[in-house]
């Protein structure tokens, strides 16, 4: 399934699709129903209701692919946050992609609200027209943001954990994509008569990205596993995953830009599409510092031991 989604997105969501989403009406890819057909939107929905019947490990593997492609869709909001809260009557339509549901995060900045059918706000599904929405522009031109008049007054911890997990998986995919792009570039780009990837300074930058990624990804898988079995410490595990995935994507982007040099600093080149998505997602649903703080409250203000987590 993961491989099928990767292949699908390689063909159907190349950088041109992401780039077009910056300027089209919706900011989206046009692939929503096909993602429904493949089972990606309904990954958590039971098969009896037209879903894939998967668990959270399936979810993070698929979301990693949506991150790798920088798929411009509210898929975390829809498939990871809203769908498990939806009444049974609407699950099939959500899984099929006949509906688009987005979610107002604690910041009050909601992506893709204008074209959504439903918005999850303070625990209620409402139509976007029922909210007072102020459009904003994101650094990532495909993320069509609106601000609600007031941020949500309450936090659903389980829903926030699912959101942070989904975004963490996307950040791992983004980091991996930027690393791959940059390694490919460093093998090809010649200066002083040799590929720049043969210089030790460049090698060490890229090794550091591989390091961040290698030790972020297992934390994302573990957090998914903890949510799947309702582990008592699942929020702590999600915090670790989101913190490390955010950091991995940020260092991947920073190094990618530096190694590409001036070409990476143009909007003609594709790197900026991934870089700006990484900036936006690294801070959404809690940045690394916020999640480290959350982990700290759990481990330092209690007597938890590493084996017990």
Which residue's CB is nearer to other proteins, number 10 or number 184? Answer: 184
Quote the crossing angle between the two packed helices 234-260 and 271-283, to the nearest 10°. Answer: 150
In the bound complex, what is the minimum distance in angstroms from residue 47's beta carbon to other proteins? Answer: 21
Q: Using the structure block, give the residue that is written with the tokens 């089972």.
A: 39
Dihedral sign, Cα of residue 102, residue 104, residue 105, residue 109: positive
Which residue's CB is nearer to other proteins, number 120 or number 240? Answer: 240
300-308: list long-range contacts, CB under 8 Å, 24+ apart. Answer: 304/233, 308/233
Q: Which two tokens stand for residue 17?
A: 């699709």
Given a contact cutoff of 8 angstroms between Cβ atoms, the answer to whether 209 and 179 are in contact is: yes
In the bound complex, what is the minimum distance in angstroms from residue 189's beta carbon to other proteins? Answer: 11
In the bound complex, what is the minimum distance in angstroms from residue 77's beta carbon to other proteins? Answer: 26
Which residue's CB is nearer to other proteins, number 92 or number 213? Answer: 213
In the bound complex, what is the minimum distance in angstroms from residue 214's beta carbon to other proteins? Answer: 5
Which residue's CB is nearer to other proteins, number 34 or number 189? Answer: 189
Residues that bind other proteins (CB under 8 A): 57, 179, 183, 186-187, 194-195, 197-198, 200, 202-204, 206-208, 210-211, 214-216, 218-219, 221-222, 225, 229, 240, 243-244, 289, 292-293, 295-296, 299-300, 305-307, 309
Which residue's CB is nearer to other proteins, number 33 or number 203? Answer: 203
How many Å apart are CA 217 and CA 237, to the nearest integer? 12
In the bound complex, what is the minimum distance in angstroms from residue 261's beta carbon to other proteins? Answer: 16
CA distance readout (Å), 155 to 9, 33, 122: 33, 30, 7
Q: Which two tokens stand for residue 238?
A: 């999600």
């Amino acid at each position: 399934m993961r491989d099928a989604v990767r292949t699908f997105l390689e063909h159907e969501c190349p950088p041109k699709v992401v780039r077009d989403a910056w300027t089209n009406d919706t900011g989206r890819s046009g692939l929503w129903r096909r993602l429904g057909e493949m089972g990606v939107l309904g990954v958590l929905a039971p098969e009896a209701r037209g879903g894939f019947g998967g668990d959270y490990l399936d979810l993070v593997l698929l979301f990693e692919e949506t991150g790798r492609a920088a798929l411009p869709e509210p898929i975390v909001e829809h498939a990871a946050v809203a769908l498990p809260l939806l009444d049974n009557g609407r699950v099939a339509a959500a899984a099929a992609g006949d509906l688009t549901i987005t979610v107002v995060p604690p910041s009050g900045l909601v992506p893709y609200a204008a074209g959504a059918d439903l918005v999850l706000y303070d625990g209620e599904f409402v139509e976007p027209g029922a909210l007072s929405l102020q459009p904003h522009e994101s650094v990532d031109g495909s993320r069509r943001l609106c601000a609600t008049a007031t941020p949500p007054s309450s936090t659903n911890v389980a829903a926030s954990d699912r959101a942070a997990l989904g975004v963490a998986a996307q950040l791992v995919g983004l980091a991996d994509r930027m690393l791959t792009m940059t390694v490919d570039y460093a093998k090809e780009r010649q200066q002083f008569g040799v590929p720049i990837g043969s210089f030790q300074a460049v090698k060490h930058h890229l090794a550091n990205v591989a390091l961040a990624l290698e030790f972020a990804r297992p934390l994302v898988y573990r957090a998914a596993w903890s949510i799947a079995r309702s582990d008592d410490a699942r929020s702590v595990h999600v915090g670790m995953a989101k913190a490390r995935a955010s950091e991995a994507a940020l260092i991947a982007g920073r190094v990618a830009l530096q190694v590409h040099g001036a070409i990476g600093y143009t909007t003609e080149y594709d790197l900026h599409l991934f870089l700006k998505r990484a900036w936006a997602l690294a801070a959404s649903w809690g940045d690394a510092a916020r999640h480290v703080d959350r982990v700290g409250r759990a481990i330092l203000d209690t007597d938890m031991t590493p084996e017990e987590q």
